[in-house]
Chain A
Amino acid sequence: MTLPDAVKSTPRLPLDQDGGPVFSTPWEARVFAMTLQAHEAGVFTWSEWAESLGAELAGDDIHDQQPQGYYDPWLNAFEKLLTRKKVTGADQLAELKQAWDEAAHATPHGQPIELKRGNT
């Protein structure tokens, strides 16, 4: 699995020997993949992303090449950049989060959690 050079140059991105990304939990892979896709869809340039992530990492005392803990600031940066790009408002994300929480509570353990939505 190789990544485009621009992506590889992302600040402090944990990579394995083959140049592939490294994750410690499934959600990390998910948010990483979403970031790539949003970038490819033209929501932001990769340098805008690197800057946004860099700012978030700067305040964070994590060690280089430690996958665990790296994707928390990544998620923060992703939310902030999408808000700045007016893809979302903070309220909208909070509402969706709430809806997912309710969906989880209404779903018996072991079944896929699905978001039931009205015609909004």
Chain B
Amino acid sequence: MSHDHDHDHSELSDIELRVRALETLLTDKGYIDPPALDELIETYETKVGPKNGAKVVARAWSDPDYHARLMEDATSAIAELGFTGRQGEHMVAVENSAAVHNMVVCTLCSCYPWTVLGLPPVWYKSAPYRSRAVRDPRGVLAEFGVTLPDETEVKVWDSTAEVRYLVLPLRPAGTERWSEEKLAELVTRDSMIGTGLANSPFHQGSTA
């Protein structure tokens, strides 16, 4: 699918058109109820996708060459692990450090790197998150339970139809000898959006 830089109108892929046509038809006939459908879909939102992203992050933490490739060309580095988008979105990895914390939003609509993160959480699509992430990122982070040192700069990245971001969170302290598989378990979905941090090995338990 070609993405020119024409943002005047929207474009749905052939498959999305087929799915929407079916939804309209089944709704008209009374066989499906869109609010109930949305509710059902929300129960899937944490499924599989975040695990793909977690593998990418764990590999980048463990393998300096992979890390370099990811920062250089995230689309290809992610494809190396077998995760490819169907619409050829361009992926960019942004790395957290003591100096910079990255956070991703899509102010315009709700573009989301679902190839690596699965279905977007409901709040990601919500108007308050979209409008406040840019204006008051620290306030939004605080609501997610994340407080950063004053000297850490917060950078907010606005996704578009062409570019999707993956946050590479800080590797938690105390994980020096950990295997990639074990590291991946510490990588939460929210840490890859930048609204959370990777779990600490000392108090694991967050599921998001």
Kindly identify, within residues 16 to 49 of chain A, every residue whose CB is under 8 Å from any CB belonging to chain B. 16, 20-27, 29-34, 36-38, 41, 43
Q: Which residues of B contact A72 (CB under 8 A)?
A: 15
* Residues of B within 8 A of A (CB-CB), count: 42
A51 vs B115: C-alpha distance in the bound complex, in angstroms?
29
Kindly identify, within residues 102 to 136 of chain B, every residue whose CB is under 8 Å from any CB belonging to chain A. 108-109, 114-115, 118-120
Chain A nearest CB, measured from B158 CB (Å): 11
Q: Flag whether A106 is at the interface (Cβ < 8 A).
A: yes
Contact with A along B4-18 (1 / 0, CB 8 A): 000111111001111
A1 vs B11: C-alpha distance in the bound complex, in angstroms?
32
Q: Which residues of B contact A119 (CB under 8 A)?
A: none
**A110 contacts B24, CB within 8 Å?**
no
Given known A-B contacts A33-B40, A36-B40, A108-B9, A96 and B15 have beta carbons under 8 A apart: no
Q: Flag whether A55 is at the interface (Cβ < 8 A).
A: no
**A38 contacts B32, CB within 8 Å?**
yes
**A34 contacts B18, CB within 8 Å?**
no
A111 vs B16: C-alpha distance in the bound complex, in angstroms?
16
Q: Number of residue pairs across A and B with beta carbons under 8 Å?
A: 138
A41 vs B26: C-alpha distance in the bound complex, in angstroms?
10
**B9 contacts A22, CB within 8 Å?**
no
**B9 contacts A27, CB within 8 Å?**
no
Q: Which residues of A contact B15 (CB under 8 A)?
A: 27, 72, 75
**A88 contacts B36, CB within 8 Å?**
no
Q: Flag whether B1 is at the interface (Cβ < 8 A).
A: no
Given known A-B contacts A26-B119, A37-B32, A41-B32, A31 and B25 have beta carbons under 8 A apart: no
Question: A residues near B, CB below 8 A?
Answer: 1, 16, 20-27, 29-34, 36-38, 41, 43, 67-68, 72, 75, 78-79, 82, 87-88, 92-94, 96-97, 99-101, 104-111, 113, 115
